[in-house]
Amino acid sequence: MVFPQPPNEAERLAALHKLKILYTPSSPAIDRICRIAQQLFDVPMVHVTLADAHRYYFKAKHGGSAATEVPRDHAFCNYTILHDEVFVVPDALTNQSFAQNPHVMGPPYIRFYAGAPLTIRPGIRVGAFCISDVKPREFSSHQVTLLRGLSRLVIDELWLHHLETSGQAETQLFASETREQPLDFESWILPTSAQIRAARGLLNWSIRELADAASISPASVKRMEISGELSVRRTSVEAVVRAFEDHGVQFTREPDGSIAVVKRSRLLSARTSEEVRDYST
């Protein structure tokens, strides 16, 4: 079977292999995230998958078969890593792409699937954080947000693994632009609602002015500032980041883990534990 692949498959695989996480044991933190998802969504199966060239390796799994990897041929996650949105199949038997899938017709008899891509930098999705069930079910927009949020926690753990294996655990995370960064994890770049409000204040912009600069609706900006960066489409957040960067405002993380909004290389925001919690969730 020919499975769908992202157009940047070679670049994606290079980033995955640089991460040096294939065939490594699951971490206690990722296992906890899986258990939380299993209880939160009341599903029998939760998986963290990493997409190698011809197979998906299970970095963590709860429920399902005892296998540690599966061929990519029939994996639902092939569709998840094609884009940045959560991919949902409410009922596989009524979906033309999956009705004859061997994982649907046979063990583990998947009927429902929802997967959030593990995006380590824009356009690079190394795998998926996914939940599945043996019965069909609906998945609300609120549940989509929750699943995306949990996937961001998994990405955090991949980032920590990268720091440890690359020897950067005790060094500054973001060096100057002249220094090469092995992997630039997106989860540590996207701003929180507090940062967006702070950045807008630095430029003395109204919500409408920010919306115009980012070419998105004022309603999206307002929702982003009230409910957080996970309440809107990822493309909207990226548009806001670009708009701020075009006007000299950047979002960064300090070596001590604190969050900052900077303008022209000068720190302009207070570092608070509350901002760090907002950013990581």
Full DSSP string of 200-249: HHHTT--HHHHHHHHTS-HHHHHHHHHH-GGGS-HHHHHHHHHHHHHTTE
Q: Which two tokens stand for residue 184?
A: 């630039």
Backbone angles phi, psi at 115, to 5 degrees: -135, 135
Angle between helices 218-227 and 193-202 (to 10 degrees): 120
Q: Which of 160, 164, 189, 187 is nearest to 174 (CA)?
A: 189
pTM for the full model? 0.65
Could you read off the pLDDT of 204-220 as tens digits, one per residue? 888 889 999 999 988 88
The predicted structure's pLDDT at residue 206: 87
Backbone angles phi, psi at 155, to 5 degrees: -60, -40
Confidence of residue 112 (pLDDT cuts 50, 70, 90): very high
Are 214 and 236 a contacting pair, CB within 8 Å? yes
Could you read off the pLDDT of 159-184 as tens digits, one per residue? 888 877 776 544 433 343 334 445 55
Which one has a higher pLDDT value, 116 or 196? Answer: 116
Mean pLDDT of all residues in the chain?
81
Confidence of residue 259 (pLDDT cuts 50, 70, 90): low
Are 47 and 69 a contacting pair, CB within 8 Å? no
Are 127 and 50 a contacting pair, CB within 8 Å? yes
Helix (H, G, I), strand (E, B) or coil at 170: coil
In the chain, the amino acid numbered 31 is D
In sequence order, which residues have a C-beta less than 8 Å from that of residue 207 and are 6 or more positions away?
Answer: 200, 218, 221, 222, 225
In the chain, the amino acid numbered 143 is Q
Q: Which two tokens stand for residue 265?
A: 């290389």
Average pLDDT for residues 11-29, to the nearest whole number? 90
Instruction: Reply yes or no on whether the pLDDT at 139 is more than 50.
Output: yes
In sequence order, which residues have a C-beta less than 8 Å from that of residue 161 and are 6 or more positions away?
Answer: 19, 20, 21, 24, 27
The full set of domains in the chain, from first to last, is: 9-165 (3.30.450.40), 189-280 (1.10.260.40)
DSSP state of 271: -
Confidence of residue 26 (pLDDT cuts 50, 70, 90): confident
Angle between helices 273-280 and 193-202 (to 10 degrees): 120
